[in-house]
Amino acid sequence: MSQPVCHTSQTGLSRLLRPREIAVFGGEPAAEVVRRCRALGFSGEIWPVHPHRTQLGGEPCFRSVTDLPRPPDASFIAVPAVSTVELVEALALRGAGGVVCYASGFAEVGGPGVLLQHRLVAASAHMALLGPNCYGMLNYLDRVALWPDQHGGRPRDRGGALLAQSGNIGLNLTMQTRGLPLAMLITVGNQAGSGLDFWVDALLDDDRITAIGLHLESLPDPVAFSRVALRALRQGVPLVALKAGRSSLGARITLSHTSSLAGPDAVYEAFFRRHGIAQVHDLPTFLETLKIVHVHGGLTGCRVVSASCSGGEASLVADLAQDLGVELPELPAAVQHRLYRTLGDRVHLTNPLDYHTYIWGDSEAQRACFSAILDCDFDAHLLVLDFPRQDLCNDSSWRVTLDAFVQASSGRAQAAMVVSSLPEGLPESVARNLMSSGIVPLQGLGDGLAAIAAASVIGLVRHQVPHPVPIESFPRIAESSERVLDEVSSKQVLAACGIPAPSGIVVGPEAVIEGAQRLGFPLVLKAMRQDLVHKTEAGAVAVDLRDVVQLQAAMSRMAGLTDRFLVERMVTGGVAELILGLQRDPQFGVTLTVGAGGILVDVLRDAVTVLLPTTPLDVRQALSTLRVWPVLQGWRGRPQADTSALVDLILRVAQWGLDRGDRLLELDINPVLVMPRGQGVVALDAWIRLADRGQDT
């Protein structure tokens, strides 16, 4: 059953997020909302509604919706599911702005709950609807707490916003002590009529929001979210995503190699990469990345310089940077010269820099050292510094170092960051002060460096020319019979759009030798049968056959498999074998995957997925992320591959998939032999699966 559309007005949304009057319905959760709003400093009117109580949370109660003095801007409803629908309908008729539906028992339980959620959306009419099955919303900018529990935030003027599908994770994130200025938290629950794209769009209308963090399990409407994500990119409001639930989205078991490579994670990674969304995989890195983008709006790369007073810390930085893909370039000559004047010949001037403890406590020397480091003008400039325990130790000399770094950073545009090797190495008070100085406090070396790598995606895509384009919607394919094209038919289809394949003929056993003699050796022999997708595993292919004796032996080995054979010219001299495929994702439609191919494709698992439509720039960037990319570039004196022909081939396949988006299920080309530069590419094997509608391919 499809999800109904909630036609929420912008006025209703604004009233829900920034209310002047709040109505609450229910027992103790509603009373807690009253208390939390007052504790946060909400100065508007709060109207508890209860049929029997005289007061709730210290405020006098009204008996019903009709007794309220005016239509409330925002309502928090904490009553059973059926009663929630009735109250939402009454509020909509009264002209209320929006509602938070706390109750569970809707679509998340299936069955009757799905129907009840449809009724809820219909009842909400023009109102903004948050939930159901959600914890609510915290707006620290306007001191609104539609929230039935404790939380760890405080009022502020600007900061990052969080959108979470889990109420408890949202609650936990408010308790962070890492210096992240949290401006708003919205827990979306079932998203019953308003998906994440709706709420991101609303947050982008508030110029007090500096960045948006997304904790999500799925994107019900990727096309709508694509448009909103590109708005955020243009507007300079970074998005950071932590996707939970890496298991399959229910996709059917597929036959092709590329479909096994392009699982749900790969498709989401492609979506985030395309839209300049920083993707992270754990909560600590999520918070650290949000701190970076709150201050700097995204980095344009991940070239880092690091300074510490310990060789051990410098070694850790080097090791972790290598693991995370963070670059540590050589210090520029001018910077080395300045450092030498400050540090002398006792310090090895390298990156990461161990500036040694003999300047510890020397404010002037440290400031000169840090100023030189900041003049590297890399993407991030790190000072590694762990404070001692505040309950047992004196941190005065550590503050000398910190003050020297703050002074050296003052007035500079460079991205300055202080990173502790352990998360607890930076007290919250220090982190907050650094934030107010425009310096990012990163807590934990691994998490901090991972956050730098994640934040670099935002700046790189934001400055990309041409700019990314939204993804397109694909028609859903209903259950139907399927049509599998064998290798020969698949190659004929591909040849029609300019994709070359080796010369070959299909013959019976009696004509194999004659066909081979017409083509000329060396040859490839393949058993032809529609269900023989993985020929190598089935013993259905023999390569580099150089004479009739070898040919007859190969044919004898395959005799039990088929009575039809494909005899092809053997193509040699390739630089690399790749795999190229199209597959159908249940949410994103037809997607494209390219990677290292051949018989080791499932072992190497070196692949990247690209969303459609795509561009030459997208394809080249995707190829450059593969481990096989250096081979294509001419590894250790080998010939450079014809990457121009490869990109052209990939774009042709992508367009072919777009043109057949209403019936394509899978396409596999493995391997694609990439020849030396100027010699093109060849599709050595191919396989296509279509929904059978009696149409031409």
Average pLDDT score over residue span 478-505: 88
Residue 258 has pLDDT above 60, yes or no: no
For 576-691, CATH number? 3.30.470.20
Segment (H or E) for 399: helix 396-409
Domain 300-414 is in which class? Answer: alpha beta
Handedness of CA 69, 73, 79, 83 (dihedral sign): positive
For 503-569, CATH number? 3.30.1490.20
Q: Torsions phi, psi of 525, nearest 5?
A: -120, 130
Give the pLDDT score at 537.
74
Residue 51 has pLDDT above 70, yes or no: yes
Residue 640 structure tokens: 């450079």
258 Cβ contact list (under 8 Å, min separation 6): 579, 580, 581, 582, 583, 593, 595, 607, 666, 667, 668, 670
Residue 687 structure tokens: 């396989």
Residue 135 has pLDDT above 70, yes or no: yes
Give the pLDDT score at 697.
59
Residue 495 has pLDDT above 60, yes or no: yes
Higher-confidence position of 365 and 257: 365
Q: How much of the chain, in percent, has pLDDT values that exceed 90?
A: 81
Confidence of residue 524 (pLDDT cuts 50, 70, 90): very high
Q: Let me know if the fold of 1-151 is the same as that of 576-691.
A: no
Higher-confidence position of 161 and 496: 161
Average pLDDT score over residue span 118-138: 95
Handedness of CA 389, 390, 393, 395 (dihedral sign): positive
Confidence of residue 497 (pLDDT cuts 50, 70, 90): confident
Q: How many CB atoms lie within 10 A of CB 56?
A: 25
Residue 124 has pLDDT above 90, yes or no: yes
8 A C-beta contact, residue 600 and residue 550: no
Give the pLDDT score at 193.
72
| Residue-range domain boundaries for the chain | 1-151, 156-298+458-471, 300-414, 503-569, 576-691
Confidence of residue 252 (pLDDT cuts 50, 70, 90): very low
Average pLDDT score over residue span 239-250: 72
Chain mean pLDDT for the chain: 91
Confidence of residue 218 (pLDDT cuts 50, 70, 90): confident
Residue 682 has pLDDT above 80, yes or no: yes
Give the pLDDT score at 528.
86
Residue 81 structure tokens: 């599911």
Question: Which of 69, 291, 299, 71 is CA-nearest to residue 162?
Answer: 291
Residue 600 has pLDDT above 90, yes or no: no
Give the pLDDT score at 467.
86
8 A C-beta contact, residue 675 and residue 573: yes
Confidence of residue 432 (pLDDT cuts 50, 70, 90): very high
For 156-298+458-471, CATH number? 3.40.50.261
Average pLDDT score over residue span 518-542: 85
Q: How many CB atoms lie within 10 A of CB 136?
A: 28
For 1-151, CATH number? 3.40.50.720
Q: How many residues are present in the chain?
A: 697
Residue 118 has pLDDT above 90, yes or no: yes
Give the pLDDT score at 695.
54
Q: 633-652 pLDDT, tens per residue?
A: 998 889 999 999 999 999 99
Average pLDDT score over residue span 591-611: 85
C-alpha 221/C-alpha 227 separation (Å) is 11
Residue 411 structure tokens: 């007035």
Segment (H or E) for 226: helix 222-235
Average pLDDT score over residue span 397-425: 96
8 A C-beta contact, residue 277 and residue 457: yes
| H-helix segments, 437-486 | 445-462
Question: Which of 612, 548, 77, 209 is CA-nearest to residue 201?
Answer: 209
Average pLDDT score over residue span 219-233: 94
Give the pLDDT score at 261.
54
Q: 172-187 pLDDT, tens per residue?
A: 999 999 999 999 999 9
Residue 539: exposure state from Cβ atoms within 10 A (0-12, 13-18, ≥19): middle
| H-helix segments, 410-534 | 428-436, 445-462, 487-495, 512-519
Residue 668 structure tokens: 């596999």
C-alpha 329/C-alpha 306 separation (Å) is 10
Give the pLDDT score at 483.
87
Give the pLDDT score at 91.
98
129 Cβ contact list (under 8 Å, min separation 6): 6, 8, 88, 98, 99, 101, 120, 121, 192, 193, 194
| C-alpha distances in Å from residue 676, one per residue of 51, 596, 628, 629, 682 | 80, 16, 15, 14, 12
Average pLDDT score over residue span 17-38: 97
Residue 346 has pLDDT above 90, yes or no: no
Confidence of residue 693 (pLDDT cuts 50, 70, 90): low
Give the pLDDT score at 327.
97
For strand 565-569 and strand 523-527, is the pairing parallel, antiparallel, or unpaired?
antiparallel
| C-alpha distances in Å from residue 440, one per residue of 27, 296, 419, 420, 494 | 43, 9, 8, 11, 52
